Amino acid sequence: MPIIPISQAKAKYDVAIVGSGAGGGQMAYTLTLAGLKCVMLEAGRSYDPATETPMFNRPDQAPLGGTSTPDKPLGFWDSTIDGGWEVPGEPYTQDSKNEQQFTWWRARMMGGRTNHWGRISLRNGPYDFKPYSRDGLGFDWPISYEEVEPYYNKVEMLIGVFGTNTGLENTPDSPPGVLLPPPKGRAGDLLTQKAGRKLGVPVSPIHRAVLTRPLDADTIPAKLHPNNLWAQKIVGDSMRRRAACFWATPCGRGCSIGANYQSTTVHLPPALATGNLDIIADAHAREVSTDKNGKANGVLFIDKTTGKEERVNASAVVLAASSGESVRILLNSKSARHPDGIANSSGKVGKYIMDTVGSSLSGQIPAMENLPPQNDDGAGGSHFYSPWWLYKEQLAGKLDFARGYHIEIGGGRKMPGGNSPVPSDYTKGLYGSKLKEEARRYYGSFVGLACRGEMIPNENSFAELDPSVKDKWGVPVLRWHWKWTDHELNMAMHAERTFAEIIETMGGKVRGTPAKTGYDIIRAGGNVKHEVGGARMGDSPKDSVCNKWSQTWEVDNLFLCDAAPFVSNADKNPTLSIMALSWRCADHIIERAKQGNI
């Protein structure tokens, strides 16, 4: 990935973009293909998945069998080359004194979290944009599904998403021809689907950003960029360099052939090919700088290779550093005009942080014992899932929580990691031929079901600057506050009971001790790595940070294009919506640029 040092930066750019992941990558792609000159600041080092992805290495070829370590929490082969729950020299602090604490994942590398994410690409539905109108909780977005739908269509065509249309309530379908064919279900998927039919739980192919066949590079670019032959050629050439998945290795390792979506293989190559993008790596953004009129005019950052403070100048600034990082930058951007941080006249920067509700349950399924050897790697993640199905019951007040969750299905004969693929209680005391026999019997006979649910924003979950702790460069760090409410805790318990029913209907046995409360099973805040909010959009500058274009009310040439503007956190994974809203915001910036208003 070509990068430049600060010494080669232009005197001034049209747009400075902080962050190279889903939001920043999409922003750079759209703006540069429209002819705008952009500079991108990435806090981590450059990363090239074509040469650095360990696609074919076995776990036993890695230290400790590839298991998790403090510096590689998702395993040695995970594509996060730098970053994790803890980043050396960049601490964060907690205010919460109880079990409810926030765990903050940060990727320090080109492409950010798009390198290792699960690639589940679900659209928010009409209810998800207007949740307050439906149940009186949280807030409504200032936009509707219909306003975002065209951008969902474009993002899906660009990145490549497999799946099927189900026609289910609040689970939007894609237009004909947009989705790629889904892969076949694994044995566990099909048995779960069969059990779901008996219980009234829908199970269908999931939507994931993985190519099951090559993209149609001859027709898609013209749909994405009509009347722009130059852009069409660049995008078409980039699409032709991506190959279809050959069902071999985990997507979390990265993909050297470009079969899955990563900003580093989909967004950044065509943006760089325009000649309109400069990328500066190891650039730890400190604050957005402003001119005497209070307008953004650039970004101050620490060059991590020298430790010196540097700056880039631009007519507009886009923050897409991840919601928590963007909040940190906004709060640190203090001046006489912005004493509480830039764009914070409402006092809402850092407020209403949300994450996805996560819990799980597994079971052993006798029907899956002694299966013949087969390729269960598949598309490197979920093939099937269950979208939320109890909207009517919820609206009628029959449940003790207000929002929904989807179910992700896992299991099967994946390549073993650094330990036995069969739990020790199934092989305890065995050795020799009997051990081998039982290992073959049980290997792949386990199914895991995971809850991924909506959190309702609350005033007790927020981030602020720590008054005394700073990072190694002297920049104040974030202090997190966190609290789950009864809605989320009750949701986790409902999911636990539902999972047990599904496993038992499959003829299986639930593993583990039943939970007594939601606290027993809910994952810590931030642990699902879906933190959103902190600078929500709204209809008024009095109670929101930005408008419906992700443009801050207070500084009209400052835009937020990660998940910070999210008003709610639907049970749909946020990345697809981040890209759709970023593309929408980029079109708004392009129109303003044509009018000379950036």
Q: How confident is the model at residue 502 (pLDDT cuts 50, 70, 90)?
A: very high
pLDDT for 60:
79
> What percent of the chain stands above pLDDT 70?
99
Torsional sign, CA 581, 450, 69, 249: negative
How is residue 5 written in tokens?
Answer: 């040092």
Which amino acid is located at 467 in the chain?
P
Domain ranges of the chain: 164-205+357-453+485-521
For the stretch 373-390, pLDDT in tens is 877 888 989 999 999 999
Which amino acid is located at 562 in the chain?
D
Q: Which residue in this structure is represented by tokens 């912005």?
A: 338
d(CA 598, CA 596): 6
d(CA 22, CA 580): 10
Angle CA 513–514–517, to nearest 5: 125
11 CB-contact burial (10 Å; exposed 0-12 / middle 13-18 / buried 19+): exposed
pLDDT for 338:
95
Question: Of 247, 36, 15, 22, which Cα lies nearest the Cα of 120?
Answer: 22
pLDDT for 77:
87
* Mean of all residue pLDDT scores within the chain: 95
Q: Which residue in this structure is represented by tokens 């390198």?
A: 115
Q: Is 177 helix (H, G, I), strand (E, B) or coil?
A: coil
Torsional sign, CA 586, 591, 593, 598: negative
Q: Is 336 helix (H, G, I), strand (E, B) or coil?
A: coil
State the average pLDDT over residues 295-318: 98
Q: How confident is the model at residue 15 (pLDDT cuts 50, 70, 90)?
A: very high
For the stretch 82-101, pLDDT in tens is 999 999 999 999 987 666 78
Q: Strands, DSSP E only, in 403-527?
A: 405-411, 446-453, 462-470, 476-481, 509-510
d(CA 460, CA 469): 21
Q: Is 580 helix (H, G, I), strand (E, B) or coil?
A: helix
Hey, what CATH class is 164-205+357-453+485-521 in? Answer: alpha beta
How do strand 357-364 and strand 446-453 relate by DSSP bridges? Answer: antiparallel
What secondary structure, in 3-state letters, does 238-292 show?
HHHCCCCCCCCCCHHHCCCCCCECCHHHHCHHHHHHCCCEEEECCEEEEEEEECC
Q: Is 197 helix (H, G, I), strand (E, B) or coil?
A: helix
Q: Is the pLDDT of residue 418 over 70?
A: no
For the stretch 118-133, pLDDT in tens is 999 999 999 999 999 9
For the stretch 213-223, pLDDT in tens is 999 999 999 99
Q: Is the pLDDT of residue 115 over 80?
A: yes
For the stretch 430-469, pLDDT in tens is 999 999 999 999 999 999 999 999 999 999 999 999 999 9
pLDDT for 98:
66
pLDDT for 70:
84
State the average pLDDT over residues 504-526: 95
CA distances from 205 to 97, 126, 189, 211, 375 (A): 41, 21, 9, 14, 18
50 CB-near residues (< 8 Å, 6+ apart): 256, 258, 265
Q: Is the pLDDT of residue 412 over 90?
A: no
Q: How confident is the model at residue 1 (pLDDT cuts 50, 70, 90)?
A: low
pLDDT for 99:
63
At how many degrees (to 10) do helices 187-199 and 486-505 cross? 110
How do strand 277-280 and strand 38-41 relate by DSSP bridges? Answer: parallel
Q: Is 315 helix (H, G, I), strand (E, B) or coil?
A: strand
Q: Which residue in this structure is represented by tokens 């650095």?
A: 52
Q: Cβ(270)–Cβ(33) under 8 Å?
A: yes
Q: Strands, DSSP E only, in 454-520?
A: 462-470, 476-481, 509-510
pLDDT for 414:
79
d(CA 130, CA 412): 38
CA distances from 467 to 95, 470, 475, 477, 580 (A): 12, 9, 11, 9, 36
For the stretch 551-593, pLDDT in tens is 999 999 999 999 999 999 999 999 999 999 999 999 999 999 9
> What percent of the chain stands above pLDDT 90?
88
Q: In what order do the strands lie in the sheet with 93-94?
A: 93-94, 476-481, 462-470
